[in-house]
């Protein structure tokens, strides 16, 4: 029979473990936004032309699009925490490479590698959250906060230090997440009942995210470069993007 102190300790451990995915979502989104916004800008500043910048910005999406479906199934077999360890390990290596490498063209294969890491991370985090509405809402709010503050953080670092120093920050955050992953608990997969509805809704589900993704990625990639070329400070660029993401955070926070 378990004593009361042991029972309390287990409850505290379970509660702490359940909050780890939300914390990882926050850190992961900060790293993702910092990299997505400032890597193309950094590549442009060290000699990449607009076409190469476009390839650098979109390369990680190539692997990210096709891998999550298989990663979701794989996480149920080998465990979400193992995929998180591998995924954050890949992100850490990618961010270190961005800091060390000075040839923009090499960023393209690294971005493919980075996209594979994100494809392992996000399905695993979502599986750990499960179908609980409160946990899912907290999860969305946490990564929304990360997406909101990340551009300002990147702008501040670029303004006070160097743009490439952002990748020291992302490396550190990814490494912290890598270490946190050992505290996550495996969660069994959940199947949802109900038949899919027929009709044009499937087309909307496909085309709307596609159009939104193309538009948002194009904007996030080239808008900072446009402002940078006009002499706008990086802190101001980051502040503008932070204000834009604030609206999304408010939407996630609504009941």
Domain boundaries, the chain: 20-187+198-253
Average pLDDT over residues 191-199: 45
The CATH fold of domain 20-187+198-253 = Growth Hormone; Chain: A; (1.20.1250)
SS3 call for 239:
helix
Q: What's the pLDDT score for residue 182?
A: 72
Which residues are CB-contacts of 252 (< 8 A; sequence separation ≥ 6)?
A: 137, 140, 141, 144
Chain segment 6-33, per-residue pLDDT in tens: 443 344 344 445 688 899 999 999 999 9
On whether the CB atoms of residues 100 and 168 are closer than 8 A, the answer is no
Tokens at 7, concatenated? 């029972």
Chain segment 134-151, per-residue pLDDT in tens: 888 888 889 899 999 999
Report in angstroms the alpha-carbon separations of 250 from 237, 244, 245, 246.
21, 11, 9, 6
Tell me the whole-structure pTM to 2 decimals: 0.83
Average pLDDT over residues 172-181: 92
247, with CB counted inside 10 A (0-12, 13-18, 19+), is exposed
Q: Rounded to the nearest 10 degrees, how much is the dihedral formed by the CA atoms of 139, 145, 148, 153? A: -120
On whether the CB atoms of residues 28 and 176 are closer than 8 A, the answer is no
On whether the CB atoms of residues 56 and 104 are closer than 8 A, the answer is yes
- pLDDT at position 47 over 90: yes
Angle CA(132)–CA(138)–CA(144) in degrees, nearest 5? 135
Return d(Cα 235, Cα 151) in angstroms, integer: 9
Cβ atoms within 10 Å of 79's Cβ, excluding its own? 17
Average pLDDT over residues 116-127: 90
Q: What's the pLDDT score for residue 71?
A: 72
């Amino acid at each position: 029979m378990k004593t009361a102190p042991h029972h309390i300790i287990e409850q505290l451990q379970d509660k702490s473990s359940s909050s780890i995915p939300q914390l990882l979502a926050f850190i992961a989104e900060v790293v993702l936004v910092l990299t997505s916004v400032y890597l193309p800008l950094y590549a442009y500043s060290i000699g990449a032309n607009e076409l190469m910048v476009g390839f650098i910005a979109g390369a990680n999406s190539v692997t990210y699009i096709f891998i999550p479906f298989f990663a979701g199934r794989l996480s149920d077999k080998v465990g979400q925490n193992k995929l998180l360890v591998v995924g954050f390990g890949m992100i850490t290596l990618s961010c270190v490479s961005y800091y060390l490498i000075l040839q923009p063209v090499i960023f393209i294969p690294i971005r493919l590698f980075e996209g594979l890491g994100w494809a392992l991370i996000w399905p695993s985090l979502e599986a750990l959250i499960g179908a609980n509405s409160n946990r899912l809402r907290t999860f969305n709010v946490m990564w929304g906060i990360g997406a909101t503050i990340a551009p300002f953080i990147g702008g501040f670092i670029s303004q006070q230090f160097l743009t490439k120093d952002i990748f020291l920050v992302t490396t550190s955050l990814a490494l912290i997440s890598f270490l946190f992953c050992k505290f996550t608990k495996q969660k069994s997969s959940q199947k949802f009942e109900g038949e899919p509805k027929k009709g044009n809704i499937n087309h909307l589900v496909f085309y709307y995210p596609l159009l939104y993704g193309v538009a948002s990625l194009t904007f996030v990639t080239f808008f900072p470069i446009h402002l940078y070329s006009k002499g706008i400070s990086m802190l101001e660029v980051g502040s503008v993007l932070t204000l834009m993401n604030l609206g999304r955070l408010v939407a996630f926070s609504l009941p």
